[in-house]
Structure 1
Amino acid sequence: MSIKSVIRTDLVSLCDHQPPLFALEPLVPLSDYVEANNLLFANDTNRLVENVPLSAIVGMNKSHVITWDDALRGGLTSMSRALAQMSKNPQHYLSGEVDHGCILIKIGVAYFIECNGNECIPIVKRFLAHFHQQDSSEVFLQNVQVIEHKVDSVFLSQMHSIYELCQARTDLFVDVTHRHDDALPCVSVYSSRSGKPTRLFKRSQLHELIHTLEHNPKHLLKPLWLSRVLARLQTLQRV
């Protein structure tokens, strides 16, 4: 990274004069991002060390929306301390020496700043680098700790199929609970007429549920005990 000989550290004043384009971009709360994208996560996470472009950071693990500019101007409680430290040694930030103290949460290609006391590092670094870069190359957090959450894409795909098949029916509906354990019930099938559950399906049985919805959905309206009795009677009649 090419850096000007004199490093100005009055970042707020610099933003007042000529704010960068990213300054008003929101730092989306992690929970809002998960809800908006209907995400469900697998039961395991990866702990990584990565070089992460600052432009890939889209939010924070925080309860409300702030912009990059809000964060710089005191939207984070530790910002005044971070700016004071940076003004004493801006090269410390530009070189990446402080980056390892930051923790990011990764979902797909999106990164979120974890509020662990060092959440100001990427904020300060992005503004500082913007005002003191002489080229247009991407700025990275170097060797930063990353916690990667894996999306439970299999379960989401199955739920999409189930909901799509149920939309075509008026006689039944489903209630879903996300489970990681294949042996635990996660989908209840209800009769629209009685409002009572007729079947429970474990995660390991979701393929069976999809197949039944596709080929014999009325079968789901019969309680399981009744279905077993009828199946037994049909067997006896064939004997």
Structure 2
Amino acid sequence: MLRSSTLFIFGRNLAAARISASFHLAKQFSANSKQPILHPSQISSFTCPIKVGFSSPFPFNSRSDRTMASQSNSGSIYDFTIKDAKGNDVNLSDYKGKVLLIVNVASECGLTNSNYTELNQLYEKYKDQGLEILAFPCNQFGAQEPGSNEEILEFACTRFKAEFPIFDKVDVNGDTAAPVYKFLKSSKGSFFGDDIKWNFSKFLIDKNGTVHDRYAPTTSPLSIEKDVKKLLGIA
């Protein structure tokens, strides 16, 4: 019994030491890069506060944003009308019967190249079988989506040949968060709270408009292909 207690205490102390070390690393990196200092609980979901082509200094659990909160029973994804990148109103009820992958995107993040590339691959493979990818530019994380809607469209369509719809730039956190994102976050929280942690967080919606799952920024689009196929009814 004494040995078990000793091992338990040692394990807790070791975990605390790792968190402390990670936090000090975050503080040092933040001071050098002028990025906001993160609480240790955010580090495993945080990524790439730097330009394309560089890797993050933090260790990540690619599925650390998996669902904790229960599904909300109030409202539906189909209740919302949003604006596309050209200012036109789009009623999400137009997507009834589709599987939706909703992503907050950025043009200057270290995850931009891999995510846009894999989102394109996923969309090309399953768009004719009922998948729609809805991209929402957001500039709340490291100011990595600074351009206008027109510039964002030009970037996505020219550099990545993106065919999935890109909508009006929005906030996803705080009082100014777009209503659709308030709904998504209330439907599916994460281990580290409801707020979106960084660029390229992902929500997967089933054909009935139910928020099925939520994935961390570092979860690659192709890694959730099996979940997409399941909702599409593909063996």
Same topology, TM > 0.5: no
| Higher strand content, 1 or 2 | 1
- Give the number of the structure whose alpha-carbon radius of gyration is greater: 1
| Higher helix content, 1 or 2 | 1
Higher relative contact order (CA 8 A, sep 6+): 2
